[in-house]
Amino acid sequence: MDLTPPPTLAELVSPPAGSAMRRRDFIFGAGTSSYQIEGAARADSRLESIWDRFCATPGKVLRGETGAVACDHYHRWREDLDILARLGVDAYRFSIAWPRVMDEAGRPNHRGIDFYKRLLGGLAERGIRAFVTLYHWDLPQHLQDRDGWLNRGTAWRFADYADLMSRALAGHGDVAAWTTHNEPWCSAYLGYGDGHHAPGLKSPRWAAQAMHHLLLGHGLALPALRANAPRAQHGIVANVAPGYADSDTAADRDAAHLFETFQNRWVLDPLLKGEYPADLWRYWKGCEPAMQPGDMDIIQRPIDYLGLNFYSRALLRSAGPDTMAWVRRPDVERTTMDWEVYPQGMQDLLEALDREYVRLPPLYITENGMSSHDAISRGEVDDVQRQAYIKRHFAACSRAMENGVDVRGYFIWSLLDNFEWAFGYERRFGLVHVDFDTQKRTLKRSALAYADFLRERAAG
């Protein structure tokens, strides 16, 4: 007879005993982004974004769904902040919708700005720190009409936007951290390289140029952010993944190296080394971006932290010289995004980045989570796979910290089921289930376990 007591609710997700993640100064949170949850697409003079236009284009988004309503967070923000308070998180990571806060001439839209002032005030009232992202992919369409991130001028418009928002929100609840861009790799490659995301353009040359201007905008924004919010941390968030060779051949090892160059170093080398990785141009021959003298000095301005979004790994084989092919193994656990569940990849990646970059700043895991087919049964959502996913990734992060990697916080993606970009509402990442017909929120068992763990940590 097995007399082992069943795990407590907190133990379903909690880090291992003795983990540095259990320290009181380690930040736990949850994240969202503006277009994925806010809705209110035409409220209070909000302008059209590239995602509004993309969603309105037939065939671009599953079932033709849009973010026009999403989670209606614009009107239900108080309820959502109460959920954050119930979870007991230290911090909330959210993004500002650029089209909501400025008009086409660059003047402030005070009604849109007031929404974020209320949000910051509500977080302060609940004792929750704000991690604010300026750009989570919803570029104003009028800028895209002038070539978007292919236009060097957009980097300066972004710096103007960062200056406006960091001045406008000063004194309206404390912003603990400002993030310039979320996942510039996605904005550049998925938006301008393969067309899977807005604005739907397809050229590796365009992707390389868009990336350069995104990173330039990041660097240009930093002086204003530091001047207007001197007590905050300032950084950027990259989506990263480790590449593993399908076999121990030199060709497959090179394919894994090319993947990590394309996925990770394309963003991190300019930020932390002041140069693009040479091997990227082996993969994308002749696609080097147009640059001006001094650009790399601007891009590599020091940052206070680097956010890392981690979901899975890639398994690679060679498809010929300077090329790679993804390998899909059929016998592994996957999420409904068809991403392999591979927690060890988080430890491997964190430790590899720590070895590779001399200038690596303190790290935050700014996104980690999974999509699953979550349904309410008898008023509950018992998302068993997500509970195990969180626990195993907490353990992987803990091992990396034990080995010397400086990780300061961890944000689960996402707070709410939401609009999952080109997949519409089919893929559910939330700790909280959202009925998109009624907007009813239901905390999943993973959320209840997360809350119990955070209560235990606070009490200890």
Among residues of the chain, what percentage have pLDDT more than 70? Answer: 99
Q: What is the pTM of this model?
A: 0.98
Distance of CA 152 to CAs 97, 143, 149, 195, 295, Å? 21, 11, 7, 20, 11
Confirm if 144 and 137 have CB atoms less than 8 A apart.
no
Sign of the C-alpha dihedral computed for residues 409, 412, 413 and 414 taken in this order: negative
The least confident of 37-41, 146-150, 170-174 is: 170-174
Burial of 325 (0-12, 13-18, 19+ CB in 10 A): middle
Q: What is the pLDDT of residues 402-437, one digit of tens each?
A: 999 999 999 999 999 999 999 999 999 999 999 999
Q: Look at residue 1 and tell me whether its pLDDT is greater than 60.
A: no
Q: Look at residue 96 and tell me whether its pLDDT is greater than 60.
A: yes
Alpha carbons 148 and 206: distance in angstroms, whole number: 11
CA 170 to chain centre: 24
Q: What is the pLDDT of residues 281-322, one digit of tens each?
A: 999 999 999 999 999 999 999 999 999 999 999 999 999 999
Predicted local confidence at residue 454, as pLDDT? 98
The least confident of 120-124, 171-175, 378-382 is: 171-175
Written as one letter, the residue type at 404 is G
Predicted local confidence at residue 460, as pLDDT? 81
- Which residue would you say has higher pLDDT here, 440 or 7? 440
Give the contacts of 174 (CB within 8 A, at least 6 positions apart).
120, 124, 129, 130, 231, 232
Give the mean pLDDT of the chain: 97
At 196, is the pLDDT very low, low, confident or very high (cuts 50, 70, 90)?
very high
Q: Look at residue 271 and tell me whether its pLDDT is greater than 90.
A: yes
The SS3 assignment for 365 reads strand
Residue 182 annotated as binding?
yes
Kind and range of the H or E run holding 316: strand 314-318
Query: Could you give the domains of the chain?
Result: 10-459 (3.20.20.80)
Confirm if 384 and 340 have CB atoms less than 8 A apart.
no
Alpha carbons 434 and 416: distance in angstroms, whole number: 7
Alpha carbons 157 and 155: distance in angstroms, whole number: 5
* Residue 335 tokens, joined: 């999420």
Neighbours of 458 (CB within 10 A): 10
Residue 339 annotated as binding?
no
Residue 347 annotated as binding?
no
Alpha carbons 158 and 179: distance in angstroms, whole number: 12
The total number of residues written for the chain in this structure: 460
Q: What is the pLDDT of residues 39-66, one digit of tens each?
A: 999 999 999 999 999 999 999 999 999 9
Predicted local confidence at residue 171, as pLDDT? 86
For 268, phi and psi rounded to 5 degrees? -75, -35
Q: Look at residue 173 and tell me whether its pLDDT is greater than 90.
A: no
For 416, phi and psi rounded to 5 degrees? -120, 150
Predicted local confidence at residue 2, as pLDDT? 58
Whose structure tokens read 């929100």? Answer: 169
Predicted local confidence at residue 297, as pLDDT? 98
Residue 421 annotated as binding?
yes
For residues 370-390, give the mean pLDDT: 96
Alpha carbons 301 and 387: distance in angstroms, whole number: 38
Angle of helix 110-125 relative to helix 153-168, nearest 10 degrees, comes to 50
Q: What is the pLDDT of residues 212-223, one digit of tens each?
A: 999 999 999 999
Confirm if 267 and 273 have CB atoms less than 8 A apart.
no
Q: What is the pLDDT of residues 328-373, one digit of tens each?
A: 999 999 999 999 999 999 999 999 999 999 999 999 999 999 999 9
* Residue 201 tokens, joined: 């353009």
Predicted local confidence at residue 172, as pLDDT? 82
Distance of CA 182 to CAs 49, 155, 374, Å? 16, 15, 26
Cis peptide before 371 (omega within 30 of 0): no
Predicted local confidence at residue 88, as pLDDT? 98
Q: Are strands 432-435 and 440-443 parallel, antiparallel or unpaired?
A: antiparallel
Q: What is the pLDDT of residues 227-267, one digit of tens each?
A: 999 999 999 999 999 999 999 999 999 999 999 999 999 99
Angle of helix 266-273 relative to helix 204-228, nearest 10 degrees, comes to 40
Whose structure tokens read 């292919």? Answer: 150
Predicted local confidence at residue 174, as pLDDT? 85
Predicted local confidence at residue 5, as pLDDT? 73
For residues 104-131, give the mean pLDDT: 98
Neighbours of 68 (CB within 10 A): 14
Q: Look at residue 389 and tell me whether its pLDDT is greater than 90.
A: yes
First to last CA, the chain: 33
Predicted local confidence at residue 7, as pLDDT? 84
Q: What is the pLDDT of residues 435-456, one digit of tens each?
A: 999 999 999 999 999 999 999 9
The SS3 assignment for 188 reads helix
Q: What positions carry a catalytic annotation?
A: 183, 367
For residues 143-165, give the mean pLDDT: 98
Residue 36 annotated as binding?
yes
